[in-house]
A = this chain, B = another copy of it.
């Protein structure tokens, strides 16, 4: 089992390795990786040990197999299908975000319970009604759901999703979910991130609109 901190660094390694590969390099040293990512060479070697790819003295790691191994460890080597629930502003942006493709995430269906949104097209995907969730998850054997719904409906929806067979939830709703321990939950909350930035900015630097007036 690879540690979570190592997994968190894998996407950065991946981008760097792909960059060097595109530049025509075939081998890379732990020292180069370490310098580029601001890590110690010892940490890089530990992280690389988790991939199963062994380095060689003087030349370091062969780039192509290392990319493959990291992709495989992340589960990014084959497309992972996910459904997205919530076709609001954030849901719409996530459904259209093509960057997911580079890490193998494929949004195959979008659900909402707003009659105005049902039937609407987001890119090539048609928004389906929530009442079809159970059948869709069952028929397509989807295990991952991306939730972009309001806080108020998040817990109930998450419980439904789990009962329909969802095993992993990427939660963009601003709400901590209480779910059985076997369910994998990853939370990303844009409002909370901005709250911290905004409050620090206000407290420490008097950021914001008023600053312009202060200068007058």
Q: Which residues of A contact B (CB under 8 A)?
A: 1-2, 4, 7-8, 10-12, 15-16, 19, 38, 73-76, 78-81, 88-90, 93-94, 96-100, 102-105, 141, 143-144, 150-152, 167-168, 170, 174-176, 178, 182, 184, 186, 188-205, 207-212, 215
Number of copies: 2
- A195-B151 in contact given A168-B205, A184-B200 (Cβ < 8 Å): no
CA A144 to CA B135, docked complex, whole Å: 45
Do A195 and B74 touch (CB < 8 A)?
yes
CB<8 Å pairs between A and B, sample of 13 = A2-B199, A10-B199, A11-B192, A12-B174, A74-B195, A75-B208, A80-B209, A81-B209, A93-B93, A103-B194, A141-B212, A141-B215, A186-B197
Question: Which 10 A-B pairs have CB atoms at the shortest separation, nearest pair first?
Answer: A75-B202, A93-B93, A186-B197, A141-B212, A11-B191, A143-B207, A75-B198, A89-B98, A168-B201, A7-B199
Do A78 and B210 touch (CB < 8 A)?
yes
Within 8 Å by CB of A176, from B4, B38, B168, B200, lies B38
CB distance from A168 to the nearest CB of B (A): 5
